[in-house]
Chains A and B, each alone.
Chain A
Amino acid sequence: MDTGSKLSRRDFIKLATLGFGSLSLAAGCAPQHPAGRAVLSDDDAGLLGAIADRIIPADAWPGGRENGVVSFIDRQLAGPYRRFRREYRRGLDAMTGTCLEKYRKRFEALSTEEQNSFLREMESGRLRDGDWKGGFSNRFFEMLRSHAMQAYYGSPRHGGNPNYASYKMMGIDYPPIIGQNRYRF
């Protein structure tokens, strides 16, 4: 998306919000999306997938996006994490707005290096102005990080970690009863 270089910061935020602020995430109702999600729009899902792949990058084992982080978060935002919807809306919009302002690109379009460096800025709480007031950036980063870890390392019944892929990676994907189906690397 070429947004030009002369747009003001305020315009970037507007653009960001118009472009992909999900009504459902903001309003708290949950229409079905074409992709089968309950809460997240396609743009939200794209951004969260990119974040998930930095928090848990793909290597010989799946990355966060492939291992169901987005579907976990979507499902929980329609369940026990309803109470975090407002933070997600604010946080995702703030990420997009800040990335457009700083890199003239959305987070998803940044290089791996740029994405990591941006997330480190969030984690450290060095983003303090505008949308990030009140220590929000590290709080939101910690929410993203812990939810991604829950998705990746938790039970598949909550929408992430299909077929216990992370358990397989850790060598504990057999039924947890001693004496059955155990193996070692």
Chain B
Amino acid sequence: MRNNHVNAVVVGAGAGGGVVAKELSTAGLSVVLFERGDWVSFEDHDNDELLSQRTTVLGNAFGPDDDRYRRVVVGGDGSTEIVYPSDGAYSNIAACVGSGTVSYGAMAWRFMAEDFRMKSTYGTVEGSTLEDWPVSYDDLEHCYEKAEWEIGVAGDSSLNPFAAPRKKHYPMPPFSYNREATMLESAMKRMGLHPFPIPMLRNSVPYSGRPACVRRRTCCGFACPINAKCGTHNTVIPAALSTGNCELRTRCVVGSLIIDASGRITGVEYFDRENTKQEQTADVIVVAASATETPRLLLNSTSKHFPSGVGNRYDWVGRNLQGHAYTGAFGLFEEDIFDDVGPGATLAISDFSHHNPGIVGGGILANEFTRLPYLFSNIRPPGSPLWGEEHKEFQRKYFRRNVQVVGPIQEMPFFDSRVQVDPAVRDSWGIPVVRLSGHRHPKDAEGTEFLSRKAEAILKEAGAFQTWRHLPGSGLSGGQHQAGTCRMGEDPQTSVTDRFGRVHDTPNVFVSDASLHVTNGGFNPALTIMALGYRVGEHIAGEWQKGNRFK
């Protein structure tokens, strides 16, 4: 049976796609929203650390599974390895309705004005494709505001003197500090720093018909048992469905875009939940499948008009894969600090986000989400045994007496860190899989060296009797903060989409996820992905209402 033609197809029901589906369906467009995973709930996975989005040793609670999915990773020596979603090197993004917004830690950062003007602010960085965004913070400000109010953010930006200017306050008051944050706050203030409560996509008070957070330790990495965490799965996607204009098709895997004889993209080819190949035609196609899966879909869509993939005329699709170079320090204390007020992370500073001597960019620092028992068993000072009596004694003595201060360093885009499709390896549907290769730009190590020393100094000031830093490796980035692989730009020769996410060379294909990020900020990216979703969605809906059919 043929599927009815619709106005728009959105591929991926995550942070970006969920928002776009809502914007288009409320504007009256008929929409099919595709999701390769399914709805998940707390009951499916409970509070099981070994099957969480933080520790995937026994699999991915939120998908995808190890049986049907795989990727190829190219090592520094050119050797290749097949990896599975529960392996870290896979750079997994959750496959479920809401994607990462179901299980994320839910930090709700706006990027700063400088984050959209990195090249203008810092100049050219040798060996990096560092560039300005074609949109400014001011262009995106009202989109951030919409994300904060429609999806729901708790915070108080008045305490952060470095925050970009905003027109409207957050819809919910900030969360209170836990004990470690209270202790760190005093230390930071003594050091002349400016601590403030982390803005969170989580209900501090009842909001939008959902209750206030009860502050469990199993929050970051888990679904919320009472729906107090705000994602696209419990806000904009239900709103889209309630218009009657949007159909959500779960467990459907989109393999390629359909290109007709004239070179127009007319829809998508997908495998339904019975693994039967189907087609869905649409006037507009929005790809929001993540910074690894979006370029894969474009590269797997070829014809005589697009011999190397849609949008890839100048070989920019899949380039500049970024994530965050996470770094920080641990401190041990003489007395109990852990008070089990979840999810742990409550306080941050933005003092080191920009204008650090000798550093390009920077990052926030925050106290870390609760380290659950297995994860904590891998946290030990350098030289300490990782097993045996002393290890066990440390586990019970310092679980309540350790503090971690951590932050994401803004990475320098690197042209040769990239997503390709593998020439040989296929997933269980026969679709060529993602092939990842490259490494971090050497400049990132300067940032992490700088930021980790600041984290360590804070812990010492707070009274830690022992501290040690942790630094990321120089290998390929990506991970859950993956970004940059279909960058926006004015010049079609050095970017993949225009300033509204429309793929150059096509009138009707848009991207709406972190692939668009020219640079990835020194912040967790979820709110920026949502804001871009509003920007892309608003643009398509506005044009549609003016009569533009994107021919």
- How far, in whole Å, are A76 and B396 apart by their CA atoms in the complex? 26
Q: Report which B residues bind A (CB closer than 8 A).
A: 46-51, 57-59, 66, 86, 214-218, 336, 340-342, 373-374, 376-378, 386-389, 391-393, 395-396, 399-400
CB within 8 Å for A167 and B373 given contacts A80-B66, A178-B342: yes
CB neighbors of B among A147-185 (8 A):
148-150, 152-155, 157-158, 166-167, 169-172, 176-179, 182, 184
Is the Cβ of A150 less than 8 Å from the Cβ of B57?
yes
Report the interface size for chain A: residues with CB under 8 A from the other chain. 34
- How far, in whole Å, are A171 and B396 apart by their CA atoms in the complex? 8
Is the Cβ of A153 less than 8 Å from the Cβ of B388?
no
Main secondary structure of the interface of A (DSSP, over half): helix
Across the interface, which residues of A come within 8 angstroms of B340, CB to CB? 172, 176, 178, 182
- How far, in whole Å, are A153 and B217 apart by their CA atoms in the complex? 15
In angstroms, how far is the closest chain B Cβ from the Cβ of A32?
Answer: 22
- How far, in whole Å, are A155 and B50 apart by their CA atoms in the complex? 7
Query: Using an 8 Å CB-CB cutoff, how does the interface string of A61-81 with B read, 1 for contact, 0 for none?
Result: 100000000000000100110
7 closest cross-chain pairs (CB), A and B: A153-B373, A153-B374, A155-B48, A149-B377, A154-B50, A55-B387, A178-B215
- How far, in whole Å, are A157 and B52 apart by their CA atoms in the complex? 14
- How far, in whole Å, are A95 and B387 apart by their CA atoms in the complex? 18
Is the Cβ of A170 less than 8 Å from the Cβ of B341?
no
User: Does A2 have its Cβ within 8 Å of any Cβ on chain B?
Assistant: no
Query: Using an 8 Å CB-CB cutoff, how does the interface string of A139-153 with B read, 1 for contact, 0 for none?
Result: 000000110111011
Closest-by-CB residue of B relative to A119 is B387
In angstroms, how far is the closest chain A Cβ from the Cβ of B530?
Answer: 28
- How far, in whole Å, are A150 and B389 apart by their CA atoms in the complex? 17
- How far, in whole Å, are A56 and B378 apart by their CA atoms in the complex? 13
Q: Which of A59, A116, A154, A182 contacts B49 (CB 8 A)?
A: A154
User: Does A57 have its Cβ within 8 Å of any Cβ on chain B?
Assistant: yes
Q: Which of B47, B48, B58, B396 contacts A170 (CB 8 A)?
A: B396
In angstroms, how far is the closest chain A Cβ from the Cβ of B394?
Answer: 11
User: Does A54 have its Cβ within 8 Å of any Cβ on chain B?
Assistant: yes
Across the interface, which residues of B come within 8 angstroms of A171, CB to CB? 396, 399-400
Q: Taking each of A76, A148, A177, which has the highest tally of chain B beta carbons within 10 Å of its own beta carbon?
A: A177
Q: Which of B214, B217, B374, B391 contacts A150 (CB 8 A)?
A: B374
Closest-by-CB residue of A relative to B393 is A59
- How far, in whole Å, are A56 and B387 apart by their CA atoms in the complex? 6
In angstroms, how far is the closest chain B Cβ from the Cβ of A73?
Answer: 12
Is the Cβ of B57 less than 8 Å from the Cβ of A176?
no
Across the interface, which residues of A come within 8 angstroms of B389, CB to CB? 57, 59
CB within 8 Å for A153 and B377 given contacts A116-B388, A145-B387: yes
Is the Cβ of A177 less than 8 Å from the Cβ of B49?
no
Across the interface, which residues of A come within 8 angstroms of B373, CB to CB? 153-154, 166-167, 170, 172
Across the interface, which residues of A come within 8 angstroms of B388, CB to CB? 54-55, 57, 116
Q: Taking each of A145, A149, A158, A182, which has the highest tally of chain B beta carbons within 10 Å of its own beta carbon?
A: A149
In angstroms, how far is the closest chain B Cβ from the Cβ of A160?
Answer: 10
- How far, in whole Å, are A119 and B388 apart by their CA atoms in the complex? 10
In angstroms, how far is the closest chain A Cβ from the Cβ of B211?
Answer: 13
Q: Which of A76, A167, A169, A177 contacts B58 (CB 8 A)?
A: A76
Across the interface, which residues of B come within 8 angstroms of A172, CB to CB? 217, 340, 373, 399
Across the interface, which residues of A come within 8 angstroms of B214, CB to CB? 177-179
In angstroms, how far is the closest chain B Cβ from the Cβ of A30?
Answer: 18
Is the Cβ of A57 less than 8 Å from the Cβ of B392?
yes
- How far, in whole Å, are A156 and B70 apart by their CA atoms in the complex? 29
Across the interface, which residues of A come within 8 angstroms of B392, CB to CB? 56-57, 59, 61
In angstroms, how far is the closest chain A Cβ from the Cβ of B75?
Answer: 15
